[in-house]
């Protein structure tokens, strides 16, 4: 069982370039999310999705786009990379209580380390 898979694991970009971080999960989880991790700041929520076709903003959404066309995939797009987006990005998924909200029990990918020069 693969769980949550993120690609690429490492990426170096130049300022202004665009790219997509891929995330896929095979647990049939409705809820998926993207976080960035920076030293001393913990994890900050970028965007999340409660199901296919539904996305919403987290704490730090500026400069990032997401879409959710299938239950399995939740890609994160950087439109025009900036040095401030240098970070480690984590994708996570969880199930929802029957007819209810997210359980909060997230399964994380291994992370994608992005450097923007």
Q: Which residue ranges make up the site for another protein (CB under 8 A)?
A: 4, 31, 33, 35, 40-45, 48, 50, 56, 58-59, 90, 92, 100-102, 104-106, 108-111
| φ, ψ of residue 60 in degrees (nearest 5) | -135, 65
Residue whose CB is less far from another protein, 35 or 64: 35
Residue whose CB is less far from another protein, 62 or 101: 101
Residue whose CB is less far from another protein, 17 or 88: 88
Say how far residue 74 (Cα) sits from the centre of its chain: 7
Minimum CB separation from another protein for residue 114, in Å? 15
d(CA 41, CA 23): 23
Compute how many other C-beta atoms are within 10 angstroms of the C-beta atom of residue 81. 21
Minimum CB separation from another protein for residue 90, in Å? 6
Number of H helices, E strands in the chain: 0, 11
């Amino acid at each position: 069982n693969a769980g949550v898979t993120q690609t690429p694991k490492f990426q170096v970009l130049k300022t202004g370039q665009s790219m997509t971080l891929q995330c896929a999960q095979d647990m049939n989880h409705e809820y998926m999310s993207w976080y960035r991790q920076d030293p001393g700041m913990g994890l900050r929520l970028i965007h999340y999705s409660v199901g296919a076709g539904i996305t919403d903003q987290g704490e730090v959404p500026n400069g990032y786009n997401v879409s959710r066309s299938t239950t399995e995939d939740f890609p994160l797009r950087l439109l025009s990379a900036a040095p401030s987006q240098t970070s480690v990005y984590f994708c996570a998924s969880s199930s929802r209580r029957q007819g209810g909200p997210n359980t909060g029990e997230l399964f994380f990918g291994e992370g994608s380390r992005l450097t923007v020069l």
